[in-house]
A = this chain, B = another copy of it.
Amino acid sequence: MNTQNEWYTDLAMEERERFRGIDQEISGVIIEKLDETRANMHITKVEIKNEHGAAVMRKPMGIYFTLEAKELSEDTDQSEVFAEILADYIESLIPENAKNILAVGLGNQEMTADALGPKVVNKLWITRHYSKEGLSSMIPGVMAKTGMETAMIVKGVTKETNPDLIVVIDALAARSASRLGTTIQITDTGIWPGSGVGNHRNGMNKESLGVPVIAIGIPTVVKTTSLIKDMWNYLAHTFADSEETRELGIKMQQLCEKQWQSAAAEMPIQQAGCMYVMPKDMDERVVRLSHILSEGINLAVHSRK
């Protein structure tokens, strides 16, 4: 991933929001609000249907469900309901005859914001060793600790154990801080290069692994580059709206992208290396979210007819 790209997001929903306000449709991208009566949850389906849509959205062709609820990482009694809803959408992407499913928990167990995948996988009901059919799982680790590309590790195990489907769980990077721990993305496109908190260099998808790949992710960090651009835009807008500061606001809005880039590239924060922004209580949120995700996957995988 280009970490200098302050607009990057792993979420198709956020990518689509770049075009908000523009009435015209994007050719090849279908966006649909879905009803959900069981909980106060906003569900959106983004479908990228052709190359044009993929180019505009900077994401592969396929289906992206986005489940949004502020209460997702709060301490509520709704976690069972959330898990059931999640299970339905996961199940809708599971190929009918998939019997052996390999769950892969991506990320670094020792880094709060990147531990979501391993934590989810640790709570799954693993059954394949009982009957030679069912759910298996792995936590491949991160390249800095294994010395190997994560995608190669998953590929090797896939070839050797022949699952019919891979379900990958990963912590994502979002553009907006309000999405941290409040949005679940489920997609049948797998993991594409450069995505995730840990910036997977190689993708993990049907093309590279030879098996369908469902990816489930939750944003746990915002890159500081996204944050700063967001703040700039917000302040420009706010200042422009107020009489006293209108001139400053307009000047800020008029600043061209090139000038912004050249100033931003030298910011002290950049020199301090790749920085992430996360809520102070991210550890507790990750525990709650991993509970909902693992329950959702358990239901989707084990309760199928």
CB under 8 Å from chain B, chain A span 118-156: 122, 126-129, 134-141, 143-149, 152-153, 155-156
With A and B bound together, what is the CA distance between A264 and B234 in angstroms? 9
A54 in contact (CB, < 8 A): no
Given A110-B112, A122-B145, A147-B127, is A280 in contact with B273 using a C-beta cutoff of 8 Å? Answer: yes
Whether the Cβ atoms of B111 and A282 lie closer than 8 Å is yes
CB distance from A235 to the nearest CB of B (A): 6
Whether the Cβ atoms of B157 and A129 lie closer than 8 Å is no
Residues of chain B within 8 A (CB-CB) of A193 are: none
With A and B bound together, what is the CA distance between A91 and B6 in angstroms? 46
Whether the Cβ atoms of A134 and B147 lie closer than 8 Å is yes
Residues of chain B within 8 A (CB-CB) of A153 are: 138, 157, 160-161
Nearest chain-B residue to A241 (Cβ)?
B263
Given A177-B275, A238-B263, A259-B244, is A156 in contact with B147 using a C-beta cutoff of 8 Å? Answer: no
With A and B bound together, what is the CA distance between A135 and B148 in angstroms? 9
A239 in contact (CB, < 8 A): yes
Q: How many copies does the complex hold?
A: 4
A32 in contact (CB, < 8 A): no
Q: Give the contacting residue for A148; candidates B129, B146, B267, B274; CB below 8 A.
A: B129
Whether the Cβ atoms of B145 and A156 lie closer than 8 Å is no
With A and B bound together, what is the CA distance between A161 and B160 in angstroms? 13
With A and B bound together, what is the CA distance between A157 and B129 in angstroms? 19
CB under 8 Å from chain B, chain A span 201-238: 224, 227-228, 230-232, 234-235, 238
Whether the Cβ atoms of B263 and A273 lie closer than 8 Å is no
Q: Which of A234, A263, A284 has the most CB of B within 10 A?
A: A263
Residues of chain B within 8 A (CB-CB) of A157 are: 148, 152-153, 156-157
A26 in contact (CB, < 8 A): no
Interface residue range, chain A = 35 or more
Residues of chain B within 8 A (CB-CB) of A5 are: none
- For the complex with contacts A231-B267, A242-B259, 15 further pairs of A-B residues with Cβ separation under 8 Å are A110-B283, A127-B147, A135-B147, A137-B145, A152-B157, A155-B160, A156-B161, A227-B228, A227-B269, A232-B235, A238-B266, A248-B255, A273-B281, A274-B279, A276-B280
With A and B bound together, what is the CA distance between A153 and B275 in angstroms? 34
Whether the Cβ atoms of A234 and B111 lie closer than 8 Å is no
Whether the Cβ atoms of B274 and A276 lie closer than 8 Å is no
Q: Give the contacting residue for A138; candidates B141, B227, B234; CB below 8 A.
A: B141
A24 in contact (CB, < 8 A): no
Residues of chain B within 8 A (CB-CB) of A255 are: 239, 245, 248
A251 in contact (CB, < 8 A): yes
Whether the Cβ atoms of B272 and A180 lie closer than 8 Å is yes
Nearest chain-B residue to A115 (Cβ)?
B112
A69 in contact (CB, < 8 A): no
Q: Give the contacting residue for A247; candidates B159, B251, B277; CB below 8 A.
A: B251
A303 in contact (CB, < 8 A): no
